[in-house]
Amino acid sequence: MAFPYKKILILGATSGIGLILAERLINHGCFVIGVGRRKENLDAFIQKHGEDKTAVMQFDISKLGGIPKVTKTHPDLDCVFINSGIQRRSVFSEPESIDMDVIVEEFTTNYISYLALTKEFLPFFQSKKDTPTSFIFTSSGLAFAPILRCSNYCATKAALHHWTLCLREDLKDTNIRVIEIFPPMVQTELHDAKHQPDIVDGGNKGMPIEEFADETMSKLLAGEDQIPVGMSNIAFNSWEQQRQQQFHKMAEMMKKNDL
pLDDT tens for 63-107 read 777 777 889 999 999 999 999 899 999 999 999 999 999 999 999
Give residue-wise pLDDT tens across range 213-247: 999 999 999 999 999 999 999 999 999 999 999 99
Q: Give 259's pLDDT tier (boundaries 50, 70, 90).
A: confident
DSSP, collapsed to helix, strand or coil, labels residue 137 as: strand
pLDDT at 55 over 70: yes
The answer to whether residues 26 and 32 touch, using CB atoms and an 8 Å cutoff, is yes
What is the rounded distance in angstroms from the CA atom of residue 142 to the CA atom of residue 161? 10
pLDDT at 188 over 80: yes
What is the rounded distance in angstroms from the CA atom of residue 202 to the CA atom of residue 211? 17
What is the rounded distance in angstroms from the CA atom of residue 83 to the CA atom of residue 25? 14
pLDDT at 249 over 90: yes
pLDDT at 196 over 80: no
* 227 or 60, higher pLDDT: 227
Mean pLDDT of the residues in the chain: 93
Write down all domains in the chain, each with its CATH number in brackets. 7-257 (3.40.50.720)
Q: Give 189's pLDDT tier (boundaries 50, 70, 90).
A: confident
End-to-end CA distance of the chain: 31
The answer to whether residues 176 and 135 touch, using CB atoms and an 8 Å cutoff, is yes
* 17 or 66, higher pLDDT: 17
pTM: 0.94
Give residue-wise pLDDT tens across range 102-150: 999 999 999 999 999 999 999 999 999 999 999 999 999 999 999 999 9
pLDDT at 161 over 80: yes
* 100 or 62, higher pLDDT: 100
The DSSP code sequence of 74-114 is -TT--EEEE-------B-TTSGGG--HHHHHHHHIIIIIHH
The answer to whether residues 80 and 121 touch, using CB atoms and an 8 Å cutoff, is yes
